[in-house]
Structure 1
Amino acid sequence: MEQLSIGEFARMSGLTPKALRLYDDLGLLAPTRVDPFNGYRWYAPEQLDQARLVARLRLIGMPLARIRAVAALPPGAAAAEITAFWRQAEADTASRRSVVAALVDDLRTKETTMATTGPTLTARSAARLGQGTRPAQQDALHAGQSLFIVADGFGPHGSAVPAGLAVSAFTALDTPWDETDGDPSAALLAAVAEAERTLTAEASALTDPDHFGTTLTAALLVGSTVLSAHIGDSRLWLVRDDRAGQLTRDHTVVAALIEEGRLTEDEARSHEDRSLLNRAIVPAGTRGHADANTGISAGPDLATTAVRPGDRLILTGDGVHAVLEPGHLAALMVAQGDPDDVGQAIADAVEQAGAPDNYALIVVDLAA
C-alpha cells in the first residue's frame, strides 16, 4: 500500500508535522504506521480528506470528543451532526446575550472615568508603507501629531483603496484634544461610522461590493492616555520596560479559538483559513455586514490605556506580524533607537522575509 511520510502528508493536507503529531496524540488522526525504531509516522493518501475535515472542525470550535465521532461518520450523517452542533452553538450565544447586557450595565454604573487631561505627552513617530510582492498597494496609514492609524484593505484592484478611504474619515481628529471637545471615544466611534458610510457610497459603483472593506487600528493620544479603536487583524502594541505587549485582539476566526484554548498556535499558523476575518469595516448591506447575518460587524473594540514618558507605541498591519516570527518582531520592537531607526529595522526584516504582502507600520515614542 502506498504510504506518505509525515512531511509529504503535511504538505498535501496543508497542515504542519507538529499539528499532525498533535492530532495523533489526541486520537483524532492516527498514522497507518509508526516506525518502531525512530517513531517516524506514515500516512495513507486516503487519510487526506479526514485530515482536512479535522482541521476544519477544529476551526469551528467543536470539542475533541465530538470531532472523533463526526470523523467516523459517513458524509451525510457527518453533515447532520455538524449542523446540529452549530445550531446549538448559535443558541448558546443567543442565551448569553442577556447575561452580557446585564453585566455591562452593572459595570458601567460603577465606572470611574479615566482622566485624559493629565500631563500632556508629546509623540515622535516614523512610518513605513511597503507594497511587498503584491500587484497593488491596499494598505494605508496616518502618522500625525496625536493620531496614528494603520489599515489593511481588500477589494478589486483599480477601485478606490478602502483602507485610504477609511483613514480619511479619522484625520480631522488629529488635533490637540481639549476638554471642551467632548468624549474622544465617542469621536472615534463616529469616525468608524463615517468610514462605513464612505465605503458604502463607494461600493455602490462596484460589480462585487461584497469583497470591499478594510481592517483599521487607530490610536489617539489625549493627555497621558491613548484611546484606541480597533477592528480586524491590524495590531496596536505597547513597549514598556523592554517588553512588547499586544493591546488589541485579532478579529479572526482562529484568534478566538486560540484564546479559548481550542486551537494551538501551530494549528493556526498552518490553517488555510488563518487570515479569515470575522470583523471588518465593510459597506452596509453587503454579505460582510452584520445586517446580512454573517457575524461580521463594523463595531470596533474601544480601549483606554494610561501611558507615560518613555513608552513606545507600535502599530502593525498583518503584513508585518504575520510574516515575522513573534520573538524576532518583539526584539526589533524593544530595540534602542529613535522611531525612524526602529521602523526601518522592522521594514528591512519584512523585506528580508520576502514581503509576501503589503505592509504598514508606525513607531511612536512618547515623552513629557
Structure 2
Amino acid sequence: MEMLTIGAFARASRLSPKALRLYDELELLRPARVDPETGYRYYAPEQLEQARLVAWLRRLGMPLADIREVRALEPAAAAREIRAFWARIESETATRRDLAAFLVDHLSRTVPAVQTVPTVPTAPRKDTTMLELRYSALSDTGLVRPANQDTAYAGTRVLAVADGFGSGGAPASSAAVEALKFLDHEPLPAGGVLNLLEDAVQGATQAVQEVAGSTAETGTTLTAMVWTGSQLALVHIGDSRAYLLRDGDLFQITHDHTMVQSMLDEGRLTPEEATTHPQRTLLLKALLGNEPSPVPDLRLHDALAGDRYLLCSDGLSAVVSENTIKETLTAAPAPAEAVRALVASANDSGSPDNVSCVVADLVNTEAQ
C-alpha cells in the first residue's frame, strides 16, 4: 500500500506536521520510513488509528509520557488506563470546583471595610434562622482489639474522629484531635475557616510526628468539621467518614483515601469485590510520623435546620451497612442515643476494630 507524506498523514489524522515531528523525536509515533537523502517522513495508512488515538488523548489533556504507555497496551488495558486517568482528572476538578465555590461565596459575602453611610443596629430579620449545634461523641474498643487507638471528640464548634494505627496509634490520634480543639474557642478569621483548617492540619501533622518519633508505621486518619454559625467546614484525610442525614436521606460526604477506593473509582473493582479485597484497609493518605502533611480534602457545607451529621471511624462503616446507619440515625431522638445505638450495632456485628462515632444535630432554637 502506498505511503502517505507527512502532509497527507497530518490531514488524515488531524495532527499538525509540527506535532508529528515532535512525536517522532519523542518516539511516540515514529514514521514508517524516512528518506535517507531528504529526511522526509512517510507514514503507513495503518498508522492512522494510532495517530488518531494520540490526538484524542491529547484532547483529554493526557501527558505525553502517559500516552506513550497507553499506546503500547492492548485495547482493554488501554481502556482501563484511560478510565483511571479520567477518574483522577474528575477528582482534581472536584477539588478545584469546591475551592472555586468557596471563593465565590466568600467574596460575595465580603463587606466593604469603609462604610460611607452610618448604620443603625436593627433587630434580626424574621427569616433569619438561629441554628445551634447539639452533639455527642463515643469511642469503644470493640470486641477484638486489645486497646483503643481511636479518638472521638465533640465540642461547641469542633467535631472530630481520628483512627490511629501502628505502635503509637492511640497517642497519634489523640494528638491530631488535640491540635484542632483550639478552634472551639478562638475567633474564626474573616478570611475563611478553610485556611485555618488547612493550617490546623499542619499542626496536627507536627503533633503526630512528635508522639510517633518518626516511626513509619505510626499514624492516624483525621475527619473533622468546624461549625461557623451558618456552615460546617470539613477537613478529611484517610478512611474515617462523614455522613449527612437530611430529609430522611443519608449522604456520605467524604471520599475514602484508600487503595481500594481508588480502584473502585478507576473501574478496576466492583463494590462487591471491594468488600473482600485484601488491601481494603491500605491508606493512600494519612497523618504519618515520618512524612509531611498530605493535602487534605477541604470544603464548606451549607447548614439546614434538622440536619444530622455523623463522623465515624471505619470500625463502624466497615461492619454496619449504610441502611442500618440510616435507620439508626433516623430513629434516635438525640445524638447521645444515636452514638450508643451505632456502637451497639458495630458490636453486634463482631466489632473487629475500634468503633468511634460523633453525631451532631443542627437545631432551630427559635422554634423551641
Q: Normalised by the shorter chain, which TM-score bucket? A: 0.5 to 0.7
Counterpart code for 1:362? V
Q: Does 1:126 align with 2:128?
A: no
Report if the CA contact (8 A) 1:244-1:333 is conserved.
no
Query: Is the CA contact 1:176–1:222 (under 8 Å) kept in the aligned structure 2?
Result: no
- 2:255 pairs with one of 236, 249, 260: 249
Report 1:1-368 matches (<5 A). 104=96, 108=100, 111-114=103-106, 120-132=130-142, 133-156=144-167, 161-175=171-185, 177-178=187-188, 180=190, 182-204=191-213, 209-283=215-289, 286=290, 289=291, 298-368=294-364
1:167 and 1:148, CA in 2 relative to 1: closer, same or farther beyond 3 A?
same
Contact 2:193 2:233 (C-alpha < 8 Å) held by counterparts: yes
Q: Which moved more, 1:125-134 or 1:103-112?
A: 103-112
The CA distance in 2 between the partners of 1:116 and 1:222, in whole Å, is: 15
CA distance in 2, matches of 1:280, 1:106: 21
Structure 2 unmatched runs, 5+: 1-69, 112-127
Aligned to 2:48: none
TM-score, length of structure 1 as denominator length: 0.65
Q: Distance in 2 between matches of 1:167 and 1:309?
A: 27
What is the aligned partner in structure 1 of residue 26 from structure 2? none
Q: CA deviation at 1:202?
A: 2.6
**1:259 and 1:92 mapped to 2: Cα distance?**
10
Larger of the two Rg values belongs to structure = 2
Give, as a single letter, the amino acid of the residue that structure 2 aligns with 1:196.
Answer: T
Distance 1:343 1:214 in 2: 21
Contact 1:234–1:250 (8 Å) recurs in 2: yes
The alignment's C-alpha RMSD in Å is: 3.6
Distance in 2, matches of 1:298 and 1:85, equals 30
Shift of 1:96: 7.0
1:143 CA displacement: 0.5
User: Which amino acid counterpart does residue 212 of structure 1 have in structure 2?
Assistant: T
Distance in 2 between residues matched to 1:105 and 1:324, nearest whole Å? 32
Q: Any unmatched runs of 5+ in structure 1?
A: 1-61, 70-83, 291-296
Tell me the CA shift for residue 195 of structure 1. Answer: 1.1
Distance 1:312 1:156, change over 3 A: same
Q: Deviations over 1:51-72 (max 9, x none)?
A: xxxxxxxxxxx9xx96999xxx
Deviation for aligned residue 1:260: 3.4
Taking only the aligned residue pairs, the percentage that are identical comes to 34
Superposed displacement of residue 112, structure 1? 1.0
Tell me the amino acid that sits aligned with residue 135 of structure 1. P
Output the CA distance in 2 between the equivalents of 1:273 and 1:176.
40
Measure how far apart 1:257 and its partner are: 2.2
SS of residue paired to 2:331: coil
CA spacing shift, 1:110–1:167, aligned 2, 3 Å: closer
Alignment size in residue pairs: 271
1: distance between equivalents of 2:218 and 2:172? 7
